[in-house]
């Protein structure tokens, strides 16, 4: 069993004015000039490399860190690298107000934990870089700095199935046939 609860340091994706970024598209997450890369291990260094103010993210991020993002995260193209670059860095999970539809499919298919926290923008000020967050995938409960609790949408059955197997293809093998 893979862990269904994680605890990690957070990164809150804000713009230079301190406002939560919405509509971060896949070119900001993983720029198209790196699209030729197929080795997941090499993708981490470019994560968020094209998002203003986040160019150093890949160097500063530690395995287990958690990324907090605004609405429509991962809008745009269908590139899988925009998910895989976070996996390469060992990012523990991603919490956003909402996702681009294809980004969400790609993240779930590759077993990368993402949760949706509706209305995140209204409480974004309560999260700060470096805070500690506990995340329970099964219940959707988030606890900030051991104090404040929030309710995100828990994993769906589909998401849990694929996450536990590793990815979509590995899950397919558990079905037999």
Partner 1 sequence: MPGQTIIEKIIQTHSDETVAPGRIVWMELDVRTARDFAGANVVQNFRTHYSNSPVADASKTFFTFDCVVPAKTIPYANNQHICRRWAREQGIKVYDVDAGIGSHVAIEEGLAYPGCTFVGTDSHLNILGAIGAFGQGMGDQDIAFGFKTGKTWFEVPPTMKVMIEGDLRPPCTARDLTLAVLRELGSSGALGRAVEFYGSAIEDLDLSGRITLASQITEMGGIIGFIPPSEEVLAFCRERAGRGMPGVYADPNAEYCEVVEVDITDLEPLIACPPNPANVKPVRELAGTRIDSVFLGSCTNGRFEDFAAVAEVVEGKRIAPWVMASVVPATRKVYARMLQEGVLQALFEAGFIISNPGCGGCASGQIGMTGQGQVQVSTSNRNFRGKQGAGDTYLASPLTAAWAALRGEITVPQ
Choices 46-54, 56-64, 106-114, 135-143 (CB under 8 A): range interacting with partner 1:
106-114
Nearer to partner 1, 50 or 98 (CB): 98
Side-chain-side CA neighbours of residue 32 (13 Å) = 5
- Could you tell me the CA-to-CA distances from 174 to 3, 145, 162, 169, 170 in Å, in that order? 19, 38, 10, 9, 7
- Count of CB atoms within 10 A of residue 137's CB? 21
Residue 39 in the binding site for partner 1 (CB under 8 A):
no
Q: In terms of CB distance, is 14 or 104 closer to partner 1?
A: 104
CB under 8 A: which stretch of 88-96, 130-138, 139-147, 151-159 binds partner 1?
Answer: 151-159
Alpha-carbon distance 40 to 60, whole Å? 19
- Applying CB under 8 A, what is the total number of residues that bind partner 1? 21
Instruction: Check binding of 16 to partner 1 (CB under 8 A).
Output: no
Cβ count within 10 A of residue 103? 27
Check residue 156 for interaction with partner 1 (CB under 8 A): yes
Minimum distance, C-beta of residue 75 to partner 1, in the bound complex (Å): 11
Cα 83 to Cα 107: distance, rounded to the nearest angstrom:
6
Tally Cβ neighbours within 10 Å of residue 109: 17
Options 12, 87, 159, 163; binder of partner 1; rule CB under 8 A: 159
Give the binding range for partner 1 (CB under 8 A) out of 26-34, 129-137, 144-152, 157-165.
Answer: 157-165
40 binds partner 1 (CB under 8 A): no
* Strands (DSSP E) found in the chain: 5-12, 66-69, 93-96, 114-116, 132-136, 141-144, 148-151
Residues that bind partner 1 in the complex, under the rule CB under 8 A = 78, 80, 101-102, 104-106, 108-109, 156-159, 161-162, 168-169, 172-173, 175, 177
């Amino acid at each position: 069993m893979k862990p269904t609860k994680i605890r990690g340091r957070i990164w809150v994706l804000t713009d230079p004015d301190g406002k939560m970024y919405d509509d971060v598209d896949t070119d900001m997450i993983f720029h198209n000039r790196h699209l030729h890369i197929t080795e997941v291990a090499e993708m981490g260094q470019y994560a968020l490399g094209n998002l203003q103010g986040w160019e150093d993210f890949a160097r500063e991020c530690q395995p287990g860190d958690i990324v907090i993002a605004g609405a429509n995260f991962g809008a745009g193209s269908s590139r899988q690298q925009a998910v895989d670059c976070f996996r390469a860095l060992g990012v523990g999970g991603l919490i956003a107000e909402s996702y681009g539809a294809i980004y969400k499919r790609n993240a779930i298919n590759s077993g990368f934990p993402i949760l949706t926290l509706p209305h995140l923008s209204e409480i974004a000020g309560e999260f700060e870089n470096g805070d500690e967050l506990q995340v329970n995938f099964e219940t959707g409960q988030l606890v900030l700095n051991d104090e404040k609790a929030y309710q995100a949408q828990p994993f769906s059955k589909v998401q849990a199935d694929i996450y536990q197997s590793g990815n979509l293809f590995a899950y397919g093998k558990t079905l037999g046939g």
